[in-house]
Chain A
Amino acid sequence: MKIKAIVTVVSSIFATTLLAIDSPPVGSAAPDFSLTDAKGKTHVLSNYKGKYVVLEWFNPECPFVRKHYGSGNMQKLQQEYTGKGVVWLSIDSSAPGAEGNLTGEQAEKITTAWKTHQTAFLLDPEGKAGRAYGAKNTPHMFVINPEGKIVYEGAIDSKRSPNPADIPNSTNYVKVALDESMSGKPVTTANTQPYGCSVKYK
């Protein structure tokens, strides 16, 4: 009994330590994951090797997410780059019962109402993908190149505010990273401090 208790304590300490990892560094291999989308279809990240992939952490309740969707900024970005063959995955890591947690049906409703253009809307209620990437904010953005390496991690743009009026005057880091990377150049700003709401993990 006693031994079992010790093992439990030790392994839970280990578990929390393992969970307490920071985002994988830029330049390292993007951790693989398998998640179902709002329609019930399974997506495995490694199946997208050979293509650029954008990961976008999402929470419909978050004012910073609303800043970019309410202004149409995010939809525009999604449309432009999915049009160029980029795979855009929006991920919701909110735990059941927490703000922003969505069923497939609710997610469908929101994507329709907000006229979004992502490749797929992935549900991550267990926070598996979110924790693997150390995703801390909504929105928290990652750009993965065709070799499966992370080339950008951080904020969506340079103005850390919930105010849509700031968008025209800010540099969109995701756009710059995709443009540079797709034209064979190294990404100049590859890592920034993300901003937004915290991801509502369980």
Chain B
Amino acid sequence: MVLIIQVKAIRPSWLGIFLFAWTLLSGPAIEAQVYQGRELVKAELVANTSAVVAGKTFTAGLLLKIAPGWHTYWRFSGDAGLPIELKWKLPDGWKTGPLRWPIPLKFDDPGDIKTYGYHDEVLLLQDITPSSSIPPEKVTLAADANWLVCERICIPGSAALQLELPTGLESSPANKELFARYEKLLPQDQPSGNNVSLGWSRSGTDLHLKVTGQDFARHRQVDFYPLPDEKTIVGHPAVASHSGDEVDFRISLESAADNLKSLPGLLVFGEQADGSDRAAWNIGQASEVIAPAAGGLPAPAPTRGLLVYLVFGLIGGFILNLMPCVLPVISLKIFGFIKQAGQSREKILRSGLAFTAGIFAWFVGLALLLIGLKAAGHQITWAFQFTNPYFVLFLGVLVLVFALNLFGVFEISLPQGATRNLLGTADADGDVASFFQGVFATVLATPCTAPFLGTALGFAFTQSAAVILAMFVAIAAGMSLPYILLCAQPAWLRFLPRPGPWMLRVKQFMGFLLLATLVFLLYVLGAQRGLEALTWASSFLLAVSIACWMKGAFITPVASARAKGIAIGLILLLLAGSGLYFIGQKFRETQSGPLSAAKGDWGSFTPARLESELSQGHIVFLDFTAAWCITCKFNEASVLESPSVREAFQRHNVVKLRADWTNGDPEITKLLQHFGRPGVPLYVLYPGNRENPIVFPELLTRGILLDKLETISGRVASQ
């Protein structure tokens, strides 16, 4: 073995001469691996400091210079090879940090053999902290290095290396260019304020990593270099798809624990196929990326008994009657009661029970659907149906038709030829109408969660099917409570005003309330699908209005059978034609655009963004909202955007992030579930310094929010 002995960067002084002589006696600073007369690898220890200062951390490194065509291996070598090893032999009391590896290259050999490593030159970096007492004048740092260097064949190499450094009270940087060059080649943590988010999933023996965000996906070359543990054998990660702002990696697992859901590794990106401009981010286990958002969560452990939660459900159901989205329909029911006031007790009772049955029917149906979805492995949430634009559209049509009915444009005729007014009258045959009123009121109630309701549902969704069903029955009972009471005690109806001709005007006015609801639903559609979708949906609604008008104008008891037949044919044609064209074709073509939750001084929530803000110790306020959530809009307008709250947020340097759940974003669903919530709204304040987040009630008030802000900022300031 040829030893090349060289002393670097020593000032011409007695110390230098001394060191040179010492090096000759004690061992090499550089060692070369020679194979068949060729020098394959030159190994050397280097440091970024001119001198060692007691207790002051510096960076040392193993520099390997590799012959052209040969390569050494990364910490995960891939299908063949062995990682470079570096073992320091330091004096007692010295400490080392983790070995830092520059981003490797990926080598592809015949037979689908992929390895990760370095050619030409590599520097592995490691921080070293000397003890507080170090020898005077100089110190010798020793390390054993092992590597495997391969071209076509592989040759193991090893070296016992030493590094001489003077000691002193001061030091200046050394090997600046070399260290700077390799610091730049180290993988970075994902930068803060970066819009990239990660999603892991596992299906059988495949792991999927979905990376969403322009900052990653815009690069031409993207890759994932895995860092599996000893128990995990990975196949080759492959880019399954790369389009727009999303990259999907598929990572096959040859052998892995059943509960393995993610892998640490590097997300590598650049423009050049040869990797010359590559950069990379470290990613940990998925839990490390997403969990901090949920870190130190108030556990949703059922500290209360089932009965308490059922009572919460009952109260929540009752309060639903007062929530802004249900009010128009509820007022109609009250209107019905007014009209019934003079009628027989039996009729009132039947109508009230039918209404209640409608409420129960919807809730029980919804419970069964959710139980089914849960059994099929879906994540279940409250108001999930509002994330579907077709459901919103359907509801819009329903609301419009009822409004037109109230205006008197047409009468609704139910089967058996009997003409009944579905929404207004409550004659003896109106039970069916009452039933549907109940259903309708409840459907409209779902975009809201009321106080108590969120807590109760959040609990129920984690429980058995029986508990979910019981919870929905409790909520239905709560919502029906006022009507059941009125039916049971019709005498109380005395307190309501007497019926009279004013009721026609009230009925028409209620139609406008329903149109207001329609405006809200159209706003939701616009938020989900954009302006074009809004236009096509409105066009369809126009066609529906015309159909309703034709029904009222031409299908009358006095019209001839032939005229009725023609009218029915035209109505069906109009509905089918406009439905197929406006909805089946045009509306369907529109895409759910990426929702930008970032408005005004609100940032858009992503798990990565939240994590980066928290890691910087910022106070973060999270607003979970959706376009269809009226409670959310109400809270935003009355509390979050009020001058006093805005001012307080600003004064305490609170980072405001908004999570828009309009389209049911699964990342947001995950975080909602971390907080044990079935849906929006949800308000969370992270006090900074990794303290437990504070969860606010659904009906936010300025007082509570300002109060909490003062408390936490007082605490932070006193630290």
Q: A: which residues have CB within 8 A of B?
A: 19-23, 25-26, 61-64, 93, 95, 98-100, 127, 130-131, 134-137, 154, 160-163, 191-193, 195-202
Are A202 and B154 closer than 8 Å at their CB atoms?
A: no
Assess whether B254 is in contact with A191, with CB atoms less than 8 Å apart.
Answer: yes
Q: A23-B254, A192-B233 are in contact. Are A99 and B111 (CB under 8 A)?
A: no
| Nearest CB of chain B from residue A150's CB, rounded to whole Å | 12
Residues of A within 8 Å of B274, CB to CB, are none
The chain A residue with its CB closest to the CB of B112 is A20
The 3 nearest A-B residue pairs measured at CB: A201-B111, A198-B80, A201-B110
Which residues from chain A contact B254 at a C-beta distance below 8 Å? 22-23, 25, 191
A63 touching B156, Cβ below 8 Å: yes
Q: Which residues of A contact B153 (CB under 8 A)?
A: 61-62, 99-100, 197
- Contacts A93-B111, A136-B80 given; 7 further ones with Cβ under 8 A? A63-B155, A98-B152, A100-B153, A160-B82, A162-B82, A196-B80, A198-B79
- Chain B contacts of A193 at CB under 8 A? 230, 233
> Do B115 and A198 touch across chains, with their CB atoms under 8 A apart?
yes
Query: Of B79, B146, B152, which is within 8 A of A137 by CB?
Result: B79
With contacts A161-B82, A162-B148, A162-B156 known, is A201 near B109, CB below 8 A?
yes
* Residues on B with beta carbons closer than 8 Å to the beta carbon of A200: 110, 152
Give complex CA distance A151, B120 in Å.
41
A-B contact count (CB 8 A): 80
Q: Which residues of A contact B146 (CB under 8 A)?
A: 161
Q: Is the CB of B80 within 8 A of A191?
A: no
Inside 8 A of A62's CB, which chain B residues have their CB? 153-154
Assess A127 versus B111: contact at CB under 8 Å? Given A99-B153, A163-B156, A195-B82.
Answer: yes
Q: How far is the CB of B230 from chain A (nearest CB, A)?
A: 8
- A202 vs B112: C-alpha distance when bound (angstroms): 11
> Could you tell me the distance between the alpha carbons of A163 and B157 in the complex, rounded to whole angstroms?
11
B150 within 8 A of A: yes
29 contacts between A and B (CB under 8 A): A19-B111, A19-B112, A20-B236, A21-B112, A22-B252, A23-B254, A25-B205, A25-B254, A63-B148, A63-B155, A64-B154, A93-B111, A99-B152, A99-B153, A100-B153, A127-B111, A130-B111, A131-B111, A134-B112, A137-B79, A162-B82, A162-B148, A162-B154, A163-B156, A192-B233, A192-B255, A197-B81, A197-B154, A201-B109
Judging by beta carbons under 8 Å apart, are B81 and A198 in contact?
A: yes
Within 8 A of A (CB), among B254-284: 254-255
CA distance A202 to B152 in the complex (A): 12
Q: Quick one: which of A25, A191, A199, A202 contacts B113, CB cutoff 8 A?
A: A199
Give A25's nearest chain B residue, CB to CB: B254
Residues of chain A with a CB closer than 8 A to B148's CB? 63, 162
How distant is the Cα of A195 from the Cα of B153 in the complex, in angstroms? Answer: 14
- What 1/0 mask marks residues of chain B from 98 to 126 whose CB sits below 8 Å from any chain A CB? 00000000000111110100000000000
- A201 close to B152 (CB less than 8 A): no
Q: A63-B154, A99-B152, A197-B154 are in contact. Are A191 and B233 (CB under 8 A)?
A: yes
B82 touches A198 (CB 8 A): no
- Count of residues in B whose CB is under 8 Å from the partner chain: 26
Q: What are the residues of chain B within 8 A of A191 when measuring CB–CB?
A: 233, 254-255
Residues of A within 8 A of B150 (CB): 197-198
Q: Indicate if the CB atoms of A201 and B113 lie closer than 8 Å.
A: yes
- Residue B235 at the A interface, CB < 8 A? yes
Closest to A66 in B: B156
Q: Pick from B79, B152, B255: contact of A136, CB below 8 A.
A: B79
Q: How far is the CA of A22 from the CA of B156 in the complex (A)?
A: 27
Report the nearest B residue to A95, measured CB to CB. Answer: B110
Report how far A192 CA is from B111 CA in the complex, Å: 19
Which residues from chain A contact B255 at a C-beta distance below 8 Å? 26, 191-192
> Does A22 contact B235, Cβ atoms closer than 8 Å?
yes
Within 123-149 of B, Cβ neighbours of A (below 8 Å) are at: 146, 148
Q: In the assembled complex, which residues on chain B have CB atoms less than 8 Å from the CB atom of A98? A: 152
Please give, as numbers and ranges, the residues of chain B lying within 8 Å of A192 by CB-CB distance. 233, 255
Q: In the complex, what's the smallest C-beta–C-beta distance from B281 to chain A, in angstroms?
A: 25
The CA of A63 and the CA of B150, in the complex, are separated in Å by 11
Q: Is the CB of A202 within 8 A of B110?
A: yes
Chain A residue nearest to B107 (CB atoms) is: A198
The chain A residue with its CB closest to the CB of B151 is A99
B156 and A198 form a contact (CB under 8 A): no
Q: Tell me which residues across on chain B come within 8 A of A20, comparing CB atoms.
A: 112, 236
A85 to chain B, nearest CB (A): 29
User: Are B111 and A199 neighbours in the complex by a CB distance under 8 Å?
Assistant: yes
Taking a contact as CB atoms under 8 Å apart, the answer to whether A136 and B252 are in contact is no
Return the CB mask of B66-100 against A: 1 if under 8 Å, else 0. Answer: 00000000000001111000000000000000000
Q: How far is the CA of A191 from the CA of B228 in the complex (A)?
A: 15
Q: Is the CB of A198 within 8 A of B113?
A: yes
Closest-CB distance, A21 to chain B (whole angstroms): 8
The residue in chain A whose Cβ has the minimal distance to the Cβ of B252 is: A22
Could you tell me which residues of chain B, from 159 to 196, have a CB within 8 Å of some CB in chain A?
none
Task: Determine the chain A residues whose CB is within 8 A of the CB of B205 once the complex forms.
Answer: 25
Please give, as numbers and ranges, the residues of chain B lying within 8 Å of A163 by CB-CB distance: 156
Q: What residue of chain B has the Cβ atom nearest to residue A158's Cβ?
A: B230
Closest CB-CB distance, B104 to chain A, in whole Å? Answer: 16
Complex Cα distance A160/B154, Å?
14
- A192 vs B234: C-alpha distance in the bound complex, in angstroms? 11
* Nearest B residue (CB) for A191: B255
- Minimum CB–CB distance for B235 against chain A, Å: 5
Residues of B contacting A64 in the complex (Cβ-Cβ under 8 angstroms): 154
Bound state CA distance, A63 and B157, in angstroms?
11
Cβ–Cβ < 8 Å partners of B109 in chain A: 198, 201
Residues of chain B contacted by A100 (CB below 8 angstroms): 153
Docked Cα-Cα span, A22 to B251, in Å, equals: 12
Shortest Cβ distance from residue B148 to the other chain A in the assembled complex, whole angstroms: 7
Expressed in whole angstroms, the minimum distance between the Cβ of A125 and any Cβ of chain B is 12
Q: How far is the CB of A185 from chain B (nearest CB, A)?
A: 19
In the bound complex, what is the Cα–Cα distance between A192 and B233 (angstroms)?
7
Query: Are B111 and A198 in contact, CB atoms less than 8 angstroms apart?
Result: yes
| Chain B residue with the shortest CB-CB distance to A26 | B255
Known A-B contacts A160-B82, A162-B148; the reply to A136 vs B111 at CB < 8 A is yes
**Closest chain B CB from A177 CB (angstroms):** 14
What CA separation (Å) do A163 and B146 show in the bound complex? 11
Residue of B nearest to A138 (CB): B80
Q: How far is the CA of A63 from the CA of B33 in the complex (A)?
A: 15
Docked pose: A1 CA to B148 CA in angstroms: 48
Residues of B within 8 A of A131 (CB): 111-112
Q: Which residues of A contact B82 (CB under 8 A)?
A: 160-162, 195
- Chain B CB within 10 Å — which of A135, A154, A162, A202 has the most? A162
Q: Provide the residues of chain B in CB contact with A198, threshold 8 Å.
A: 79-81, 109, 111, 113, 115, 150
The docked-state distance in angstroms from the alpha carbon of A198 to that of B236 is 15
**Interchain CA distance A89-B542 in the complex, whole Å:** 79
Given the complex of chains A and B, what is the CA–CA distance between A25 and B341 in angstroms?
77
Q: Which of A127, A135, A161 has the most CB of B within 10 A?
A: A161
Report the minimum CB–CB distance from B37 to chain A (whole Å).
17
A197→B80 contact, CB < 8 A: yes
Question: Chain A's nearest CB lies how many Å from the CB of B73?
Answer: 11
Q: Report chain B residues within 8 Å CB of A199.
A: 111, 113
